[in-house]
Amino acid sequence: MNILNLFDGIACGRVAAERAGLEVENYYGSEIETSSMQVALSNYPGIIELGDITLLDKTELDKLPPIDLLMGGSPCQDLTKTKQDRERKGLEGSKSMLFYEYLRILRYLKPKYFLLENVEMAKEWEDIFTKEMGIEPIKINSNLVSAADRKRIYWTNIPGITQPQDKGLLLKDILIPAIGVPIKYWYNKPFIYNGDDKKIQCTLEINTHNLLKKVYNMNNKCGTLTCVSGGYQEKKVYQDGRCRKLMPEEYERLHNLKDNYTSGFSDTKRYTMVGNGWEINTIAHILSFIK
């Protein structure tokens, strides 16, 4: 297959295609983040990077062979339902409006199959996506095939997709044993213990947003991975009677990437690249329905 993944990031689409058993002849990625492209090419040197989606005009698109599968997860910063300090602009946001670039390329290339992913969003915006894509979406929580929550919406013409089988994975299944965790990942901060039966087992007593104080129970699911820019934004776990942040390798495991897939960069950069990417097993499950 010839595959084009818009907003390719660290080439999670390439990993998923391989896991789904697709034979890939050419894989094209449109991405602007240098570090993400470096990770993609270090794992798959054959990827053909096309750069900025907004610069993919008809001249550039005409250079491509017929595309069998067009994929993409357009930016969601102004769409997510999570309450933040800034006002949500929906599809008028500078990043979220890139959905229309995906739509432009989809209509021009007319691939045999397409897949568009985005976050849970307000109904008014979801309805716009559905109208423009011309197909009803499928909603899947990746916690069925991973140890982290990740509710996402998928618009695709791949036929017959069902919900993935629940693998019953928990945070403890991907954790590195406490003895192997370097000291820099452990918090020397007071915390409130909420109970063994609580998903948020502890709450750090630190001066920040409540969301960033959460420490997850290893016998439950982790919260949804997101981009990280420091300041306690990493996901946390209670292990061996202490609180700590997850390691980059554990972030990779939560998205079913191989260990050290994003190695060579700072922890913060690695957290962000994984958090911005796809959970692999969910995408592979969807692609497995291609005949």
Average pLDDT over residues 102-120: 97
User: CA Rg, the chain, in Å?
Assistant: 19
Q: Answer whether residue 182 shows pLDDT above 60.
A: yes
Confidence of residue 80 (pLDDT cuts 50, 70, 90): low
> What pLDDT score does 83 carry?
47
The residue with greater pLDDT, 86 or 266, is 266
Report the Cα–Cα distance between both ends of the chain, in Å, rounded. 12
Q: Report the mean per-residue pLDDT for the chain.
A: 93
pLDDT tens-place string over residues 23-76:
999 999 999 999 999 999 999 999 999 999 999 999 999 999 999 999 999 876
Q: Which residue has the tokens 């946390």?
A: 236
Q: What are phi and psi of 138, to 5 degrees?
A: -115, 135
**pLDDT the model gives residue 291:** 81
Which tens digits make up the pLDDT trace of 226-256? Answer: 988 778 999 999 999 999 999 999 999 999 9
Under DSSP, the state recorded for 275 is: H
CA 221 to chain centre: 16
Q: Can you give the pTM of this predicted structure?
A: 0.93
Backbone angles phi, psi at 91, to 5 degrees: -80, 5
The pLDDT tens digits for 116-125 are 999 998 888 8
pLDDT for 84 beyond 60: no
Token digits for 12? 């999670």
Cβ-based burial of 21 (10 A; exposed 0-12, middle 13-18, buried ≥19): exposed
Q: All domains of the chain, ordered by start, with CATH?
A: 2-165+278-287 (3.40.50.150), 171-270 (3.90.120.10)
Q: Which of 216, 231, 240 is closest to 272 using CA atoms?
A: 231
- Helix 12-19 to helix 280-287 angle, to the nearest 10 degrees? 50
Strand 2-6, strand 69-73: pairing = parallel
Q: What is the pLDDT of residue 85?
A: 39
Contacting residues for 120 by C-beta, under 8 A, at least 6 apart: 80, 81, 139, 151, 152, 153
* Residue 95 pLDDT: 61
